[in-house]
Amino acid sequence: MLLTTTDDLRAEYEVLGLVKGSRVRSRHVGQDLVAGLRKIVGGEITEYARLLEETREEAIQEMKAEARRLGANAIIGVRMATNSITTGAAEIVVYGTAIRIKG
Protein backbone atom coordinates (compact mmCIF):
# COMPACT_ATOMS: atom_id res chain seq x y z
CA MET A 1 0.00 0.00 0.00
CA LEU A 2 1.31 3.44 -0.95
CA LEU A 3 1.85 5.82 2.00
CA THR A 4 2.80 9.42 1.29
CA THR A 5 2.93 12.69 3.17
CA THR A 6 1.82 14.65 0.12
CA ASP A 7 -1.83 15.63 -0.22
CA ASP A 8 -1.84 15.59 -4.00
CA LEU A 9 -1.05 12.82 -6.45
CA ARG A 10 -0.74 13.09 -10.20
CA ALA A 11 -3.34 10.39 -10.55
CA GLU A 12 -7.09 10.23 -10.45
CA TYR A 13 -8.35 8.90 -7.12
CA GLU A 14 -11.42 8.53 -4.93
CA VAL A 15 -11.26 9.79 -1.33
CA LEU A 16 -12.54 7.15 1.10
CA GLY A 17 -12.01 8.91 4.42
CA LEU A 18 -9.77 9.50 7.40
CA VAL A 19 -7.84 6.52 8.76
CA LYS A 20 -5.73 6.33 11.89
CA GLY A 21 -3.65 4.08 14.04
CA SER A 22 -2.78 4.61 17.68
CA ARG A 23 -0.63 2.78 20.21
CA VAL A 24 0.19 3.58 23.82
CA ARG A 25 3.37 2.16 25.32
CA SER A 26 5.09 2.45 28.66
CA ARG A 27 8.75 2.08 29.45
CA HIS A 28 10.13 -1.03 31.11
CA VAL A 29 11.99 -0.68 34.43
CA GLY A 30 14.97 -2.63 33.08
CA GLN A 31 15.13 -0.37 30.03
CA ASP A 32 14.99 2.68 32.32
CA LEU A 33 18.04 1.48 34.25
CA VAL A 34 20.10 0.91 31.10
CA ALA A 35 18.85 4.19 29.58
CA GLY A 36 19.78 6.03 32.77
CA LEU A 37 23.34 4.76 32.47
CA ARG A 38 23.47 5.80 28.80
CA LYS A 39 22.33 9.32 29.76
CA ILE A 40 25.33 9.59 32.06
CA VAL A 41 27.91 8.51 29.48
CA GLY A 42 26.13 9.98 26.45
CA GLY A 43 25.11 8.53 23.12
CA GLU A 44 21.94 7.19 21.60
CA ILE A 45 19.48 5.60 24.00
CA THR A 46 18.83 2.58 21.83
CA GLU A 47 16.30 1.03 24.24
CA TYR A 48 13.92 3.97 23.81
CA ALA A 49 14.65 4.37 20.10
CA ARG A 50 13.72 0.71 19.51
CA LEU A 51 10.57 1.04 21.64
CA LEU A 52 9.41 4.11 19.68
CA GLU A 53 10.21 2.53 16.30
CA GLU A 54 8.22 -0.62 17.16
CA THR A 55 5.32 1.47 18.44
CA ARG A 56 5.28 3.66 15.30
CA GLU A 57 5.30 0.57 13.08
CA GLU A 58 2.36 -0.97 14.99
CA ALA A 59 0.37 2.27 14.65
CA ILE A 60 1.15 2.38 10.89
CA GLN A 61 0.01 -1.23 10.46
CA GLU A 62 -3.24 -0.43 12.31
CA MET A 63 -3.85 2.58 10.02
CA LYS A 64 -3.15 0.49 6.90
CA ALA A 65 -5.56 -2.23 8.09
CA GLU A 66 -8.30 0.37 8.56
CA ALA A 67 -7.61 1.72 5.05
CA ARG A 68 -7.81 -1.78 3.55
CA ARG A 69 -11.20 -2.31 5.22
CA LEU A 70 -12.38 0.79 3.33
CA GLY A 71 -11.05 -0.61 0.04
CA ALA A 72 -8.10 1.80 -0.19
CA ASN A 73 -4.88 1.12 -2.05
CA ALA A 74 -3.08 4.24 -0.77
CA ILE A 75 -3.01 6.74 2.09
CA ILE A 76 -2.11 10.37 1.42
CA GLY A 77 -1.36 13.21 3.83
CA VAL A 78 0.18 10.84 6.37
CA ARG A 79 1.13 12.51 9.66
CA MET A 80 2.50 11.24 12.98
CA ALA A 81 2.22 12.67 16.47
CA THR A 82 3.48 11.66 19.88
CA ASN A 83 1.71 12.55 23.11
CA SER A 84 2.80 11.98 26.67
CA ILE A 85 -0.03 10.23 28.50
CA THR A 86 1.60 10.06 31.92
CA THR A 87 5.10 9.73 33.31
CA GLY A 88 6.70 6.85 31.48
CA ALA A 89 3.92 6.32 28.91
CA ALA A 90 3.44 7.81 25.45
CA GLU A 91 0.94 7.53 22.62
CA ILE A 92 1.94 7.40 18.96
CA VAL A 93 -0.81 8.48 16.56
CA VAL A 94 -0.58 8.05 12.78
CA TYR A 95 -3.30 9.38 10.47
CA GLY A 96 -4.01 10.16 6.86
CA THR A 97 -6.60 10.09 4.09
CA ALA A 98 -7.46 6.72 2.61
CA ILE A 99 -7.88 6.78 -1.17
CA ARG A 100 -8.43 4.39 -4.05
CA ILE A 101 -6.21 5.23 -7.01
CA LYS A 102 -8.12 4.64 -10.24
CA GLY A 103 -6.70 3.00 -13.31
CATH code (residue 42): 3.30.110.70
Indicate the number of domains in the chain: 1
The string of DSSP codes covering 34-79 is HHHHHHHH-S--HHHHHHHHHHHHHHHHHHHHHHHHTT-SEEEEEE
Report residue 49's pLDDT band, with 50, 70 and 90 as the boundaries: confident
What is the per-residue pLDDT across 1-11, written as a single tens digit (0 to 9) for each?
999 999 888 89
Residue 85 — very low, low, confident or very high, per pLDDT cuts 50/70/90? confident
pLDDT of residue 36: 55
Exposure letters 65-77 (e unless 16+ CB within 10 A, then b): ebbeeeebebbbb
The boundaries of the domain holding residue 40 are 2-101
12-26 mean pLDDT = 93
